[in-house]
Structure 1
Amino acid sequence: MSFRNEDEARRYIGGIFETAFKDEEIGPKLVDTGLVLRFAFTDPEAVLVIDMGQQQVYQGDGSGLTPSATMSMKCETANAYWQGKVNLPFAMARGKIAVDGNVASLLKLAPLGKKLYPVYIDNLTNDGRTDLLV
């Protein structure tokens, strides 16, 4: 199961980054990277741009920012990742996630996300979107 539309991708995937920015441990580490991460999702089509340095999440490509890296994947893969069900390096090796740009920085950030998996799952559950749980 996947998100219904781009707005849901923004709500859940963008929302987990907004939560991360507020976290006392994770937030400063994200800001320090200064990365601009672009997500290009399919099924449904959605684009999110995460400006780590400014702690901003943008829907669509209208931010005017140049991404440090672009990650392309199905929304279903992103949803599963934030539930702790996708190993980033393996998914990249198997072609489930394509990365263009600063791959090393992304791999360094991946361990920070583990603390957010329960938060993401709670967000889905609290919104009645248990159909998205994997």
Structure 2
Amino acid sequence: MNLIFIIRHWAFTLLLGPFIFAIINGLNTNWSSKNLFDFFQIYPLMIFMGLLFSLPTYICISILFTVFKNKKIQPCCAKTILMIIVVIGIFITTGLINGTVWFVLAISYSISSITAGIFLMRYFKNETES
């Protein structure tokens, strides 16, 4: 397992999370083309805010990554543990933000994180482990 997995996971989670949030909100509300246009206007802001709010979690993940690397833990187990910690970090961060949509944000970014983790573990497992 290398640091590239963490960076890819972070990027995919940040890029996919707002789309899942929009889909969940679209199912709960009266979705129209105006809402879709509004979503694409705030998408860059959502990525930027997601980057800022996820920074503490991914700093912790990077530290744990080095610990796991030194302990010689199996890459699949380490990646699973890291994804679980990311989901916990998502719920803690969105809970601290506390707003009207914090739970929907937590669910959407958690789905994004799990999807990204499964995709990366499955399709990039043949990379050299370092």
Q: So what's the TM-score if we normalise by structure 2?
A: 0.41
Greater share of strand: 1
Q: So what's the TM-score if we normalise by structure 1?
A: 0.40
- State which structure, 1 or 2, has the greater radius of gyration over its C-alpha atoms: 2
Quick one: higher RCO (CA 8 Å, sep 6+), 1 or 2?
2
